[in-house]
């Protein structure tokens, strides 16, 4: 999955379909474990090699992103918060709470900002679907986020790809993008585990716990 360069190069013009499918699945089918950012970046970088105009890569990514968020919103509107379970593999209540906190912190702009945050971008749309945000407002912010995300990543890949070092090391750069994207999530998990351990230690050191052990 990390070798996006060979993956897209072997696909030729069909790379557009791959970009569309991956970007849509990440939010439309609520599957957060796809390299959406690095995929669009790499597609922009390889656009000329794939005989694809850059605008087509950006357009396909933007449309798939907007439709994906739209689908996620409708899922949230239909199924609500009961979609998430404490011990679920994908639809964890923790993911819902993180997306909910992100939405409360940034308001409607979260639909734009979440585009650049893995996992959060998957679960913000269904959370918005359970909120009182007006549908027209959601659509406006959704389009802004999807288009801005696709333009930024597509252009970044296209222009940086002209730098020899970037062009010759795109595999490592793709891996780096994935790592940087996932790093905040890993840090968040480690912080929660550390906080839980400290809480348990604090309880074990409390007078009540010492009396019980005594």
> What is the pLDDT, as a whole number, of residue 4?
72
Closest CA to 185 of 196, 197, 193: 193
Concatenating the DSSP letter of every residue in 62-123 gives HHHHHHHHHHHHHHHHHHGGGG-BTT-SSSBHHHHHHHHHHHHHHGGGHHHHGGGSTTHHHH
Return the ∠ at Cα 186 (arms to 185 and 188), rounded to 5°. 65
**131-143 burial, b if ≥16 CB within 10 A, otherwise e?**
bebeeeebeebbb
User: Can you give the length of the chain in residues?
Assistant: 214
Residue 21: CB atoms within 10 Å: 14
Residue that the structure tokens 């072997």 belong to: 10
pTM over 0.75: no
In this model, does residue 98 exceed pLDDT 80?
A: no
Mean pLDDT is lowest, of 60-74, 78-92, 181-195, for 181-195
pLDDT tens string 51-65: 899 999 999 999 999
Q: What is the pLDDT of residues 181-204, one digit of tens each?
A: 666 656 665 666 666 666 666 656
Q: In this structure, what are the phi and psi dihedrals at residue 92, rounded to the nearest 5 degrees?
A: -80, 145
Distance CA 140, CA 79 (A): 23
Tokens encoding 34: 């796809």
**CB of 73 within 8 A of CB of 123?**
no
Alpha carbon distance 102, 92 (integer Å): 16
Domain ranges of the chain: 4-213
C-alpha 93/C-alpha 87 separation (Å) is 8
């Amino acid at each position: 999955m990390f070798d996006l360069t060979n993956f897209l190069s072997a696909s030729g013009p069909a790379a557009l379909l791959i970009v569309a499918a991956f970007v849509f699945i990440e939010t439309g089918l609520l599957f957060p474990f796809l390299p959406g950012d690095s995929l669009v970046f790499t597609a922009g970088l390889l656009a000329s090699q794939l005989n694809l105009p850059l605008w087509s890569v950006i357009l396909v990514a933007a449309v798939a992103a907007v439709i994906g968020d739209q689908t996620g919103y409708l899922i949230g509107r239909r199924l609500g918060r009961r979609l998430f379970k404490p011990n679920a593999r994908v639809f964890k209540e923790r993911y819902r709470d993180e997306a909910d906190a992100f939405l409360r912190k940034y308001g409607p702009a979260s639909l734009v900002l979440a585009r650049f945050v893995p996992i959060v971008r998957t679960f913000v749309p269904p959370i918005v679907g359970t909120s009182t945000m007006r549908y027209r407002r959601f659509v406006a912010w959704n389009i802004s986020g999807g288009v801005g995300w696709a333009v930024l990543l597509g252009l970044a890949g296209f222009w940086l790809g002209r730098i020899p070092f970037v062009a010759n090391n795109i595999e490592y750069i793709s891996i780096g993008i994935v790592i940087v994207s996932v790093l905040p999530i890993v840090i968040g998990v480690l912080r929660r585990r550390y906080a839980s351990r400290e809480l348990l230690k604090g309880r074990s050191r409390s007078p009540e716990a010492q009396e019980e052990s005594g």
